């Protein structure tokens, strides 16, 4: 049987987004680590793959030698659960870090079972932070101040935001260098994107000029259905190059991995889901490299 054509042999091959599929290079190994680039994984709609993306992109980046810190910034604590940690058993979480003077990120850090990946966990206590932060001075920058001491220790910090555009999400955006938006391939998921973009523009204009759009990630894609194909085509038509070439297909292996408390990259390393997130990691790192060359370095 003839060998399948590779991308190298057919660089004009179209990907799921309908655009020619680039070949993303393997990232260069790092000689030194830090300071971290911070990315907020954000969408005010729930159930679009934010937590799945944070866990699996983080694990895939770690496979490329990046030191990664994941921040669970959702009171549901799904990111913590997805890494095998029981939120209700925690003595100190991101909530304590935000509101208790003298506590540092190092006091709250967890080493996960994934090499190169650490976690700042969360639980339901965080739901009270929104109200308590209202009276804080510079309330939009509390998370950024809390993360400052650990930024030199990591290459990437990914913040898993809660499904809302409230004060906690604004905190995540205000300290981030970029925003990664997972977007479920169904019609109603599109309706809130304009509001999210408006919020990002406001934060960029009023609080953090460095904030930029890292990209929109199509999730829960099923090429067998006309609906998801049409939605993805509409996203690409509306947002163009802001849409990642990598697309995350719908699969039962993601919830299975969550139950097991580990990333898909270790739970089922040869699965399509693991391959997709490894490809996304290469695409994200290449986008960041090109952004740095264009003069948008982290913190700049």
CA–CA separation, 190 vs 141, rounded Å?
Answer: 29
pLDDT given at position 296: 60
pLDDT given at position 28: 87
- Which is it for the CA torsion 235, 47, 200, 118, positive or negative? negative
Convert the pLDDT of each residue in 132-154 to its tens digit: 988 888 899 999 999 999 999 99
pLDDT given at position 297: 59
pLDDT given at position 6: 38
pLDDT given at position 44: 82
CA–CA separation, 257 vs 272, rounded Å?
Answer: 13
pTM (predicted TM-score): 0.91
CA–CA separation, 33 vs 248, rounded Å?
Answer: 29
Per-residue pLDDT tens, the chain, 300 aa: give them.
333 333 343 455 788 888 888 889 888 888 899 899 999 999 988 778 899 999 999 999 999 999 999 999 999 999 999 999 988 888 899 999 999 988 999 999 999 999 999 999 999 999 888 889 888 888 999 999 999 999 999 999 999 999 888 899 999 999 999 999 999 888 777 777 888 888 899 898 999 999 999 999 999 887 888 888 888 888 898 899 999 999 998 877 888 888 878 888 888 888 888 899 999 999 999 999 998 887 765 654
pLDDT given at position 256: 84
pLDDT given at position 130: 86
Peptide bond before 35: cis, by omega within 30 degrees of 0?
A: yes
pLDDT given at position 91: 87
Lookup: tokens for 126: 């965080």
């Amino acid at each position: 049987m003839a060998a399948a054509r590779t991308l190298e042999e057919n660089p004009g091959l179209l990907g799921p987004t309908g655009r020619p599929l680039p070949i993303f290079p393997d990232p260069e190994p790092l000689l030194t680590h830090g300071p971290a680039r911070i990315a907020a994984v954000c969408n005010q709609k729930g159930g679009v793959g934010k937590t799945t993306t944070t866990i699996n992109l983080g694990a895939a980046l770690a496979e490329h030698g990046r030191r990664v810190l994941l921040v669970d910034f959702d009171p549901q604590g799904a990111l913590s659960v997805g890494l095998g940690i029981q939120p209700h058993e925690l003595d100190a979480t991101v909530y304590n870090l935000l509101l208790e003077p003298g506590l540092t990120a190092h006091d709250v850090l967890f080493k996960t079972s994934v090499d190169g990946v650490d976690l700042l966990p969360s639980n339901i206590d965080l739901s009270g932070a929104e109200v308590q932060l209202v009276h804080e001075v510079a309330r939009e920058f509390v998370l950024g101040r809390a993360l400052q001491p650990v930024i030199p220790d990591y290459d990437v910090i990914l913040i898993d935001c809660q499904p809302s555009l409230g004060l906690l999400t604004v905190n995540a955006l205000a300290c981030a260098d970029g925003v990664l938006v997972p977007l479920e391939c169904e019609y109603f998921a599109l309706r809130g994107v304009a509001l999210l973009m408006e919020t990002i523009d406001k934060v960029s204009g009023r609080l953090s000029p460095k904030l930029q759009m890292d990209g929109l990630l199509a999730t829960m894609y099923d090429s067998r259905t006309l609906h998801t194909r049409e939605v993805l085509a509409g996203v690409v038509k509306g947002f163009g190059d802001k849409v990642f070439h990598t697309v995350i297909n719908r699969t039962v292996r993601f919830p299975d991995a969550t139950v097991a408390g580990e990333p898909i990259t270790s739970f089922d390393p040869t699965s399509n889901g693991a391959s997709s997130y490894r490809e996304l990691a290469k695409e994200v790192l290449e986008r960041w490299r090109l952004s740095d060359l264009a003069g948008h370095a982290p913190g700049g």
